[in-house]
Amino acid sequence: MAERLVVRVNASPSHANGITVEDAFNQVLDLFELAKEGEADPDRLVAWRLVSATMQSPFTIVAEAVSVVPLMNVDSIARAQKVEFVRNLEQLNHGVVPRAWSRSTLRRRATFVYARNMNGIGRTDVSFQPGETDFAEVVVTPDTAAVAVHALTDDPAHRQEEIKDQIGSVEGVMQQVGTHYNKPAILVRERKTGAEFWCVVTEEFRARIAAEANFDDVWSGRRVVVHGLISYNDVGEIARVTATEVHRVIPTDVPLEKLRDPEFTGGLSVTDYLEKLREGDLG
């Protein structure tokens, strides 16, 4: 069976009119966006497909992990993603901001999730599919929400000294070719963090960069390496890049013979190896 996630959103007893449509759907949307953020799936191979939605209270969404790459089995990746997601929620319930959600955009999204549990939503449950007895569900209540919101908005580790601009390179995927403050620019999503930022192109390097990158690169999701002046915001995230060079990353074809390792499974059959991997029995 494919990996599944179940989210239940319960109305607060103190709100006689129940949950608004915006709160219910935004709560689910924000939770699944947070579920995708972490170390388990850095290449974004897993998507969560809607299986069912129950509108009666509690509002319940069941989602199933599917691969964004045709014919690829992502069950083990999805399971690791679920485990990490639950661990991150449990950390926030105890007032600890997970490292994976420390970026300001994700902190804001997590803050919205927990703040709704203090105003309108009385309880949010996150659980796995029936039969997964090795994981308890995670419950967010107004009390745990208050602890989490305090940590998210008043975490000393989040307050960093301003990082000055520096020359360097960033690798990412081209998202858009356009303008930023009326200057030629390329919108790039960083490969490691998924954060998006504008790469402003100066007139001096405009012709050279235009020759290196085009709209087809955007449509094909081309990976690029941008070199130039990297500007950071007050929490150490890339705010923008003033680009002097943009190089496309050209994939190299590697024969399967060079990737094949007959000793990879340690003598186990493929079936036995995958079974032990799913159960976490591999050393």
Asked if residue 118 and residue 179 are part of one domain, the reply reads: no
119 in the same domain as 80? yes
Q: Are residues 13 and 111 both part of a single domain?
A: yes
- Res 155: pLDDT: 52
Instruction: With respect to residue 253, please indicate whether it lies within any of the assigned structural domains.
Output: no
Residue 279 is assigned to a structural domain of this protein: no
Is the domain of 226 the same as that of 244? yes
One domain, residues 75 and 183:
no
Say yes or no: 129 and 66 in one domain: yes
Local confidence pLDDT in tens for the 283 residues of the chain: 789 999 999 988 876 677 888 899 999 999 999 999 888 888 889 999 999 999 888 899 999 999 998 889 999 999 999 999 999 999 999 999 998 898 878 888 999 999 999 888 989 999 986 555 455 689 999 999 999 999 998 755 444 444 478 898 989 888 887 777 778 888 888 877 778 888 888 777 777 767 766 666 666 777 888 889 998 876 677 888 898 888 887 766 667 676 677 777 777 777 877 777 777 777 5
Q: Does residue 42 have a cis bond before it (omega within 30 degrees)?
A: no
Are residues 75 and 39 part of one domain? yes
In a domain, 281, yes or no: no
Q: Is residue 258 part of a domain?
A: no
Are residue 208 and residue 144 in the same domain, yes or no? no
pLDDT score recorded for residue 201? 84
Token output for 158: 């989040």
Do residue 138 and residue 205 come from a single domain?
Answer: no
CB contact at 8 A, 246 and 210: no
The dihedral region occupied by 189, where left means phi > 0, alpha psi between -120 and 50, and beta the remainder, is: beta
* Residue 95, in any domain of the structure: yes
Last residue of a domain, one of 127, 158, 189: 158
Do 153 and 90 lie in one domain? The reply is yes
Last residue of a domain, one of 158, 176, 206: 158
Q: Which domain holds residue 220?
A: 166-248
**Count of structural domains, the chain:** 2
Q: What is the pLDDT of residue 49?
A: 94
> Is there a single domain that holds both residue 153 and residue 195?
no
The residues, any chain, with a CB within 8 Å of residue 2's CB and separated by 6 or more, are 64, 65, 66, 75, 78
Distance CA 65, CA 38 (A): 16
What's residue 159's pLDDT?
A: 47
